Amino acid sequence: MDTLKIIKIGGNIIDNEVALSSFLDVFAAIESPKILIHGGGKLATQLANQLGLEVKMIDGRRITDKATLDLITMVYAGKINKNIVAQLQSKNCNAIGFSGADGNTIVSKKRHINPIDFGFVGDVKKVNIKTLQVLLEHKVTPVFCALTHDKKGQLLNTNADTIASELAIGFAEHYQTELYYCFEKNGVLRDVTDENSVIKEITTQSYQSLIDDKVIVDGMLPKLNNCVYAIEKNVHKVCIGKPEMLYDDQANFTTITK
């Protein structure tokens, strides 16, 4: 079974031109089939401030009203996505930009308004991999932004970590899927003040005890819930850490397995 690498990058890479270019060098050099998922970084918030649009966040999650959805569609699916695709083409990686609406790849349902009305935010319902499979077979690399659709004409803002794990799950019976979350830390840390206290391996069994011991808290919880869910749905492995983990076996990072 071929390996498929699904890689998600966050704002710390997207917001830094030098970091993004060096990451894309690494990504372009990966020879196996691959898919890239990116979040929105700080650009949407900066533009909202410039346009006088109020940015509303609850528990670190953006409330997406109609005006905000228009803005993030322009930023995520437009500026950021096309910039990444253009840079990959310059590095001889034939890429094509996607939202979940393109090729009907990711269908979501609008999140329920109770207990919090997040607006036009989607929770993934279904992933359709047929179009993506054809592209991968022809050595074309899909690049996803954090937007999906509801099959009724409505775009929805959707968590990029979730999109990455749902795509990995969708491909799990056709490929040995490996899911990588690249962010600014070396991995999951036992002590958040010590960058070297990386937990090298987490299993679906040890995960619960790390929560009980309050090692995994706050923003790390939803990220790791996505990881463990993906492993339980037959994704081969999930890795969390800095982009070096993609090419350096000696790098410090966290691997999550069954």
Q: Which residues are annotated as a binding site for substrate?
A: 40-41, 62, 157
Q: Which domains does the chain have, with CATH numbers?
A: 3-257 (3.40.1160.10)
Pairing of strands 237-241, 254-257: antiparallel
Q: Is the pTM of this model over 0.85?
A: yes
Q: Please give the pLDDT value at position 167.
A: 98
Indicate the angle between helix axes 17-29 and 81-90, nearest 10 degrees. Answer: 50
List the beta bridge partners of residue 38.
9
Q: Which two tokens stand for residue 175?
A: 């490929």
> For residue 109, is pLDDT > 80?
yes
What is the per-residue pLDDT across 26-68, written as a single tens digit (0 to 9) for each? Answer: 999 999 999 999 998 899 999 999 999 988 888 777 899 999 9
> For residue 166, is pLDDT > 80?
yes
Q: Which residues are annotated as a binding site?
A: 40-41, 62, 157
What is the per-residue pLDDT across 121-147, written as a single tens digit (0 to 9) for each? Answer: 999 999 999 999 999 999 999 999 999
Q: Please give the pLDDT value at position 220.
A: 82
